[in-house]
Amino acid sequence: MTKTETKIAVVTGAASGIGKATVITLLEQGFRVSALDIDTEGLEELAHSPSIEKYECDIYTTNVSSRNECHTTIEKIFEMNGRIDVLANVAGIARSEHMTKVSEESWNQMLGVNLSGVFWCSQAAIPHLIKTNGSLVNVASCSGLMGQAYTVAYSATKGAVISMTKSMAMEYIKSNIRINAVAPGSVNTKLVDNYSIPDDVDMNLIKPYMGFRGMAEPEEIANVISFLVSDDARRIHGAVITVDGGLTAG
């Protein structure tokens, strides 16, 4: 096992969007980053991108909905580095569907990635994070805080991530680990590019989620994650920080 003084961050969903921006931000902050994603090609593209080639970034193809893959990858990262200081659970999928048309496969996949993925990676990483007084950040969504039509399955996973964040924060309140969540509004990523709304929805029910301030860029969410794992956020534990341009204020 290699021991390093450099702090080690693990980021899931690292091949795209908020995860990729988080990898870059944490590398710039001096972390060595382990980037996890199911998308091997996207990870390789990240690892070879000129903006990060001067930093230490290791890539791991991992399907976060598999307990075995999460535990195996986290143990490999610990074996290689001798420590883990940060886990950012960013991987996620979204789908807009009429509730009555959600298939068993779609429901299970949504829960597998967005909810079980956060749980399994956290379960594997927390024992290591406790040893380093580390920090864990889950990416939830404002749709876990407000009722959102046509995304019942997605919203259920994000509400559960918020509840899980608070419960984990309480279970480990006597350690020095910090556990928080960010809840973004709309962010300009592939998830939104690939998002298609069924033709026959009532647009009046969707308007409340549009907000007034447009979409955030992934770097704006990554900056908040980077703040939450920094010493400047040392009193923040069990919090859900909305990053939604005021969407959930009204």
Ligand X SMILES: NC(=O)c1ccc[n+]([C@@H]2O[C@H](COP(=O)([O-])OP(=O)(O)OC[C@H]3O[C@@H](n4cnc5c(N)ncnc54)[C@H](O)[C@@H]3O)[C@@H](O)[C@H]2O)c1
Footprint of ligand X on this chain (CB under 6 A)? Answer: 12-13, 15-19, 37-39, 42, 62-65, 90-94, 113, 139, 141, 184, 186-187, 189-192, 218
Shortest spacing between CB 2 and ligand X, in angstroms: 25
Rounded CA separation 21/126 (Å): 23
What is the rounded (10 degree) CA torsion for 73, 106, 198, 243? -40
- Catalytic sites, residue numbers: 154
Nearer to ligand X, 95 or 131 (CB): 95
CA quadruple 248, 173, 70, 77: dihedral sign: positive
Q: Where are the alpha helices (DSSP H) in the chain?
A: 17-28, 40-47, 67-81, 104-111, 117-131, 152-171, 190-193, 203-206, 218-228
Shortest spacing between CB 5 and ligand X, in angstroms: 29
Shortest spacing between CB 102 and ligand X, in angstroms: 17
Shortest spacing between CB 14 and ligand X, in angstroms: 7
Neighbours of 94 (CB within 10 A): 20
Nearer to ligand X, 90 or 179 (CB): 90
Rounded CA separation 25/30 (Å): 9
Nearer to ligand X, 5 or 105 (CB): 105
Nearer to ligand X, 72 or 132 (CB): 72
CB 10 within 8 A of CB 125: yes
Rounded CA separation 162/157 (Å): 9
Shortest spacing between CB 164 and ligand X, in angstroms: 13
**Share of the chain residues as helix, strand and coil, in percent rounded to the nearest 5:** 45, 15, 40
Q: Kind and range of the H or E element at 9? A: strand 8-12
Which residues fall within 8 angstroms of residue 127, CB to CB, at 6 or more apart? Answer: none
Rounded to a whole number of angstroms, the distance between the first and last alpha carbons of the chain is: 51
Nearer to ligand X, 48 or 234 (CB): 48
